[in-house]
Amino acid sequence: MENKICVYAIAKNEEKFVDRWFDSVKEADYVVVLDTGSTDNTVSKLKNLGVKVETKKYDKFRFDEARNDSLKLVPDDANILVCVDIDEMFEKGWSKILKENWNENVYRVRYRYTWNFNPDGSEGIVFMADKIHKNGCFKWTHPVHEILTPTQNIGYLTIDLPNIQLNHRADNTKSRSNYLPLLELSVQEDPSDDRNMHYLGREYMFHGEYDKAIKTLKRHLKLPRATWNEERAASMRYIADCYGYKGQHKKQEEYLLRAILEANYVREPYFQLAKFYYEQKDYLKSAVYFNEMFKITKRELNYISSPVCWSALPYDLLSLCYYYLGEYKKAIIAVNDAINLSDDPRLKSNRDFYLDKLTEVVNNQKQ
């Protein structure tokens, strides 16, 4: 049987993204969209490009229901389904790679996904996403942060195709205010789900509801299904953040140390603890944990991996620690590492300052 690809999506008021989105997905054999109530020109623009569009409005919107309804638009002869939001764009050639690597035993494909970009245009959070799947074998579950769930309880083959690149260019003007109530609903529907319990705690933190966040994230840590160390460490870091916002710095320090014990192979907890000590003006401890962080040279491709840990900032802060400790040679080395990652003129100014300090020390020693 000939492999046929169908891209499917949901949309609402996305007219400014339609052209670039379609340009990136038009390699597919079919493109279908379920519009959930646009009041702009989204529907007409999509139809003018030849996209099959249907509209359905929801009294109480939930993402899993909308995505399952969008699946109903997929033609029967499409065996490879690709879920792509309108603010996402594939890099050219993705469909050829997908078809060349697909066979009847494949049920899902993981591909490289850039969730956001830094102000300088470099990649921010990058991970392997998995919204490419076989037709007729999956449904969407959870009101928000929805996931593909097999319709039958069977093992299946997932392949990695990192040469397929999808980029997310979000519309930051859009409200995400419905995420919190949908997450609360998701946890209410399945209190044992570790993933959305973690997300709910994080969302409470984003909303400044720190006590609720702490309680929810601690619930996450106690769940039998909460076994992914990196996500557990992230919950501990968020708990630490909340204690920090509440001014409870001993508790903040405790949970950052616990996060390191939970996942000592990723940079995030080390960075957060080093930054904590820097803010507490404990420059010696801060330098120790920054240096421990730099021993980790492999960046994990998951949504928890924070780009700041791989940026110039850790080296910048380390150089300042060394400056305050009077270690000017080490400060110069650290700031040079920062300069290699950033063209911020402040860093070069700091280096000149450290050089002057080192020269002053050397001259005093000669006298």
Give the pair of three-digit tokens for residue 313.
């900032």
Q: How far apart are CA 26 and CA 12, in angstroms?
A: 20
Quick one: which of 74, 57, 49, 50 has its CA closest to 11? 57
> What digits encode the pLDDT tens for the residues 283-319?
999 999 999 999 999 998 899 999 999 999 999 999 9
Query: What pLDDT, on a 0 to 100 scale, did the predictor assign at position 150?
Result: 95
Instruction: Indicate if 158 and 210 belong to the same structural domain.
Output: no
Percent of the chain scored above 90 by pLDDT? 91
Instruction: Indicate if 9 and 156 belong to the same structural domain.
Output: yes
Instruction: Indicate if 183 and 164 belong to the same structural domain.
Output: no
Show the domain range for 128: 5-168
Instruction: Indicate if 71 and 127 belong to the same structural domain.
Output: yes
Q: Are 193 and 187 in contact (CB under 8 A)?
A: yes
Query: What pLDDT, on a 0 to 100 scale, did the predictor assign at position 178?
Result: 84
Instruction: Indicate if 33 and 158 belong to the same structural domain.
Output: yes
Give the pair of three-digit tokens for residue 94.
């993705």
Give the pair of three-digit tokens for residue 63.
């993402």
- Tokens 């997450």, residue? 183
Domain count, the chain: 2
DSSP secondary structure, 33-88, as one string: EEES--SSSHHHHHHHTT-EEEE---SS--HHHHHHHHHTTS-TT--EEEE--TTE
Which stretches within the chain are classed as H helix?
18-25, 42-48, 63-71, 94-101, 179-189, 194-206, 210-222, 229-245, 249-262, 268-279, 283-294, 313-324, 328-339, 345-366
Amino acid at 157: L
User: Residue 163 pLDDT more than 80?
Assistant: yes
Q: Cα-flanking dihedrals φ and ψ of residue 52, to 5°? A: -75, 120
| Final residue before a domain boundary, out of 280, 303, 323 | 280
Instruction: Indicate if 157 and 9 belong to the same structural domain.
Output: yes
Give the pair of three-digit tokens for residue 219.
């619930």
Whether residue 344 is contained in a domain is answered as: no
Predicted TM-score (pTM) of the model is: 0.91
Give the pairing type, strands 138-141 and 88-90.
unpaired
Whether residue 266 is contained in a domain is answered as: yes
